[in-house]
Chains A and B, each alone.
Chain A
Amino acid sequence: MRGLGQRFLQMTAVLLLVAAGTFFLLDLMPGSPAIAILGTSATPEGIAKVEAELGLDKPNIERFLTWGTHAVRGDLGVSYRDGENVAQAIRQRFPTSFEVLILTQLLALGIAVPAALFAASRPGKRRDRALTTTSFALIAIPQFVMALTLLIIFAKQLQWFPAADFVPLNEGIIRNLRSLVLPVLSLSFPLSGIYFQVLRNDLVITMSSDHIMRTRASGFSERIILLKYALRSSSLTLLAVVGLNTAGLLGGVLIIEQIYSLPGLGRFLFDAATRRDIVKVEGAVLVIAVTYVTVNLLVDMLLRVFDPRVRAASIGTRR
């Protein structure tokens, strides 16, 4: 399949771009990591010595290439700041973030898909307008506001859920899930609003399309038409949008992690970045990018299964 081969090339390019982009961006930032290690009172000689030890005196291209070749073998290096093994540190954080990612996407879809089907079954009618307005409201609530509000109501006032003590998965799945309810809710509400709108609009367009009219003319019921015929050909954009959110949910939910004290990649990345711990930042960004690329490859393959036209277009046999 030539289409897939091309995809792989593009994936590699994306990973390279992300890794190099992060590396040189951090390198451009003012101040040497050596100063960060030694403190502002460091002497120039001291700085030079530390830089030599860390290999920071070499040109940045060379450093990037060294780092890159190690990274390909799964060795993400050792932090300049605290000597921590970066791959290991990330391995501790990743499962939590990944769990949040999966749960959030599932919940958001679980809310959005039935709602969109319900709304699209009577476009323009009361149920559609009510749901569309609700979805706007969900999107409009800033994430940190949602998180704070849920925290105040359900953790502080009602005390239904723990406020800010995360229980890892290996200490019991029930307690783990309980500690994730509020953060996952805060993340998936706004997302479900977006997913709803994407799917609802596609469904409405599909339902007024010619092939659905033909299906109607063949005597299928509206229910079957919606569930069996329209949903499938309308879910393509939604799938793509879901895939695009991977990186943000994995490493960009800093605020939620902070409010609920989750040991996730967002805080890890934030701490590393503010301390100019290039090695840690680079490692985390790479892991996130690899996950993103993998998820999107999966989405792409799903799209191919769902829609033969995508397949045809990428092989180049479109009429």
Chain B
Amino acid sequence: MKQLLRFKQRWGILGLIAIAWIVALGVCALFGKLFTSHLNQDLKNRLQAPSFSHPFGTNNLGVDMLGLAIKGARISVLVGLAATAIGFIGGSLVGLTAAYWRGRTDRVILTFLDASAAFPSFVAAISVVLFWGKSVRNVILVIGVLTIPVIARIVRAASLPLVERDFVLAARMQGSRHSQIIVRELIPNVIRPLLGFAMITVGITISIEGGLSFIGAGVPDNIVTWGQLIASGRATVEGSPHLVLIPASLIFGTILALNTLSSKWLRGRPFPVIKESVVETTVSANASDAAKMISSNPPTDVVLSIENLHTYFSTPFGSLRAVDGVSLQLRRGQMVALVGESGSGKTMMARSLLGLVPSPPRVAGLPGRVMFDGQDLLSLSSEELRKIRGRRIAMIFQDPMTTLNPVMRVGRQIADTATLHLGLSKKEATRRALELLIEVGVPDAQRRMRAWPHELSGGLRQRIGIAIALAAEPEVLIADEPTSALDVTIQRQLLDLLDRLRRYRGLSILFITHDMGIVASRADEVAVMYSGRIVEQGSTLEVFAHPRMPYTRALLASIPRINHESHKKLAVIGGIPPIAIGPRVGCAFAPRCPDVIDACRTEIPQLVGNTHQAACIRNVVSAS
């Protein structure tokens, strides 16, 4: 029973109907002969509309249409399956060959594929069948061959990106035989979407057979297929439309069923994709008290105050705690660094601030708070939030290659943002964009205005990203790993730029990074994040000089010290950050902590301390 329910959940009502349809079709195709051996002409009962004794009516010779429809299923399905098989075998061979060898082979094959698309193939099919003679075999062959180029295109497109992937390259390096690589590495990776497409193709080929028979170039007249039925019903279509409509709906239903199945099948991935899940933001009772205490006494120059922020994703395995009660303050002209490994929730936190988490319907009434200029960002409507995004709080991102619009010149991208928020004319906006480019240190700015993102180096692209962010003179900049993809020299230049900006423009910066090293000399404060929570927080000097939490110590120890006489061996932290699903038990760092004690596994450590806070049981123990 439970399994049945799961089955229904997986496929949905439509999916179940589709499955039933296909099963019925299969039964008719395989065993239809058993019911239809006695199909007789009955000239007295010609052209009858559907009735109780003839649910589908009778045709112009008085033969029962239901029987004919069942009989027709056999050849229609056979043609569909066989032609699809030919198309797929041929198409996969051609497509894989083109994708795997690429270069000249690919170009030649592409030219052939193009030529076949330039050719009105349906007419070709008709003539070939007429010349070779009408027979089921010829129809299958012709439709199958005509399907080859279509499949070949798809297979090629699906396998091209795979060929450049590491596992294929690795197999090539090891000197595996080509055929082995194709069979072992490529085919298993493209097979799933292809099988989905094969289902659709079966439907399409059934319909093509219908078209051929309809025009009189399909199977011989004495063989019943759905297309044949439609063709022979056409003469009497005005008096008895059911003769056309019934077989037509059978074809329609079959294609629809196959399409539904294939789309459900393709969508049914075994693991949940976070992008598709819903976000809920919640606050636990006692934590919100703590938040109140913080905000009841706000220092005057606090620009952005994050209070007990929660971002959860619901997954089939339970709530994923991406951000789990984070509080953080940013003062005017200050740079706060938020440090953590990937998966610690720091990026999710940054995106939650401006409502940029994927699919953001927040559960009303249960928010944490993000106070900015006297209002709670989390409670703003998307309309109101948009006036703050980019205008007063701007963001820069890790990979400027993917975050710049690839099909727009960079100058235009800067100018557009300026126009949007400052209401500048086109000319003014362009001038402003140019000024910004100069300010963020893009050499040869005038010319670079007209550059495309892909023409620029990584460092320059990030400068463009900063220029876009600055376009509307924001007060706060959230920088999400803006330098991680760049080499050390460029990294330093960009950090200098951000440093300058906050000094001269009074910009407040929340700098998110996994690298303790680049934080040291520039941030005023550091917050260390682990598994959705802040585990240590304080002024940079304090935290670097006296780290209180083992995780912070490990992070600090992993900074390479070039100026030490001997490169100290890096303290590598073993293990990976835990997946935060289910109730929190004990310290999240316990499985990896070198200083772990039994209490760590049962008691949840809270942030303690005044200006320098840490969440570690051992720290409390030793401090008290």
Q: Which residues of B contact A86 (CB under 8 A)?
A: none
A308 touches which of B118, B122, B238, B407 (Cβ 8 Å): B407
Question: Known: A142-B252, A210-B399. Contact between A233 and B122, CB under 8 A?
Answer: no
Q: Are B215 and A136 in contact (CB under 8 A)?
A: no
Q: Are A156 and B387 in contact (CB under 8 A)?
A: no
Q: Are B117 and A274 in contact (CB under 8 A)?
A: no
Q: Are B397 and A210 in contact (CB under 8 A)?
A: yes
B119 touches which of A221, A285, A318 (Cβ 8 Å): A285
B406 within 8 A of A: yes
Q: Are A139 and B405 in contact (CB under 8 A)?
A: no
Q: Are A21 and B119 in contact (CB under 8 A)?
A: yes
Q: Are B211 and A144 in contact (CB under 8 A)?
A: yes
A152 touches which of B238, B251, B390, B468 (Cβ 8 Å): B238
Q: Are A233 and B407 in contact (CB under 8 A)?
A: yes
Name the CB-closest residue of B to A156: B238
Q: Are A258 and B114 in contact (CB under 8 A)?
A: no
A124 to B119, CA, bound (A): 38
Q: Taking each of B248, B276, B387, which has the highest tally of chain A beta carbons within 10 Å of its own beta carbon?
A: B248
Name the CB-closest residue of A to B248: A145
Q: Are A252 and B120 in contact (CB under 8 A)?
A: yes
Q: Are A247 and B120 in contact (CB under 8 A)?
A: yes
A210 to B395, CA, bound (A): 12
Q: Which residues of A contact B211 (CB under 8 A)?
A: 142-144, 255
Selecting from B126-134, B532-540, B560-568, B572-580, the interface stretch reads B126-134
Distance in Å from the Cβ of A285 to the closest Cβ of chain B? 7
Q: Are B215 and A318 in contact (CB under 8 A)?
A: no
B44 within 8 A of A: no
B3 within 8 A of A: no
A265 to B123, CA, bound (A): 10
Distance in Å from the Cβ of B255 to the closest Cβ of chain A? 4
Q: Are A136 and B123 in contact (CB under 8 A)?
A: no
Interface size on A, residues (CB 8 A): 73
B402 touches which of A211, A216, A221, A254 (Cβ 8 Å): A211
Name the CB-closest residue of B to A293: B118
Encode contact with A along B587-615: 1 for CB under 8 Å, 0 otherwise.
Answer: 00000000000000000000000000000
Q: Are B454 and A312 in contact (CB under 8 A)?
A: yes
B118 touches which of A14, A137, A306 (Cβ 8 Å): A14
Q: Are A139 and B111 in contact (CB under 8 A)?
A: no
Q: Which residues of A contact B14 (CB under 8 A)?
A: 133
A292 within 8 A of B: yes
Q: Are A216 and B356 in contact (CB under 8 A)?
A: yes
A65 to B218, CA, bound (A): 34
A308 to B412, CA, bound (A): 14
Question: Known: A137-B256, A217-B390. Contact between A273 and B397, CB under 8 A?
Answer: no
Q: Are B391 and A219 in contact (CB under 8 A)?
A: yes
A211 touches which of B120, B238, B248, B404 (Cβ 8 Å): B404
Distance in Å from the Cβ of B539 to the closest Cβ of chain A? 29
B406 touches which of A144, A281, A307 (Cβ 8 Å): A307
A221 to B384, CA, bound (A): 11
A198 within 8 A of B: no
A142 to B397, CA, bound (A): 48
Q: Are B454 and A309 in contact (CB under 8 A)?
A: yes
Q: Which residues of B contact A124 (CB under 8 A)?
A: 276
Q: Which residues of A contact B124 (CB under 8 A)?
A: 25
A206 to B558, CA, bound (A): 38
Q: Which of B72-92 contact A (CB under 8 A)?
A: none
Q: Taking each of A14, A215, A219, which has the highest tally of chain B beta carbons within 10 Å of its own beta carbon?
A: A219
Q: Taking each of A15, A152, A218, which has the highest tally of chain B beta carbons within 10 Å of its own beta carbon?
A: A218
A285 to B402, CA, bound (A): 44
Tell me if A's interface is mostly helix, strand, loop or mixed: helix
A1 within 8 A of B: no
Q: Are A142 and B207 in contact (CB under 8 A)?
A: yes
A218 touches which of B120, B214, B237, B394 (Cβ 8 Å): B394
B323 within 8 A of A: no
Q: Which of B335-357 contact A (CB under 8 A)?
A: 351, 354, 356
Encode contact with A along B516-544: 1 for CB under 8 Å, 0 otherwise.
Answer: 00000000000000000000000000000
Q: Are B120 and A288 in contact (CB under 8 A)?
A: yes
A255 to B210, CA, bound (A): 11
Q: Which residues of B contact A265 (CB under 8 A)?
A: 120
Q: Which residues of A contact B506 (CB under 8 A)?
A: none
A54 to B485, CA, bound (A): 72
Q: Which residues of A contact B251 (CB under 8 A)?
A: 142, 145
B115 within 8 A of A: yes
Distance in Å from the Cβ of A88 to the closest Cβ of chain B? 20
Encode contact with B along A208-244: 1 for CB under 8 Å, 0 otherwise.
Answer: 1111011111111110000001001100000000001
Q: Which residues of A contact B238 (CB under 8 A)?
A: 152, 156
Question: Known: A142-B207, A152-B237. Contact between A273 and B252, CB under 8 A?
Answer: no
A152 to B251, CA, bound (A): 19
Q: Which of B357-411 contact A (CB under 8 A)?
A: 358, 382, 386-391, 394-395, 397, 399, 402-408
A213 to B405, CA, bound (A): 10
Q: Are B215 and A213 in contact (CB under 8 A)?
A: no
B112 within 8 A of A: yes
A220 touches which of B107, B111, B117, B420 (Cβ 8 Å): B420
Name the CB-closest residue of B to A317: B455
B421 touches which of A139, A219, A318, A319 (Cβ 8 Å): A219
Q: Are A255 and B214 in contact (CB under 8 A)?
A: yes
Question: Known: A17-B112, A210-B402, A218-B389. Contact between A144 and B210, CB under 8 A?
Answer: yes
Q: Are B123 and A266 in contact (CB under 8 A)?
A: yes
Name the CB-closest residue of A to B388: A219
A247 to B118, CA, bound (A): 5
B459 within 8 A of A: no
Q: Are B259 and A18 in contact (CB under 8 A)?
A: no
B502 within 8 A of A: no
Q: Are A213 and B356 in contact (CB under 8 A)?
A: yes
Instruction: Report, nearest first, the 3 A-B pairs whose CB atoms are least far apart.
Output: A251-B120, A219-B390, A218-B390
24 A-B pairs with CB atoms under 8 Å apart are A10-B114, A14-B118, A136-B259, A137-B252, A144-B230, A208-B358, A210-B403, A216-B389, A217-B394, A217-B395, A218-B390, A218-B468, A247-B117, A247-B119, A247-B120, A252-B122, A255-B215, A258-B215, A270-B127, A285-B119, A289-B119, A307-B407, A308-B406, A308-B407
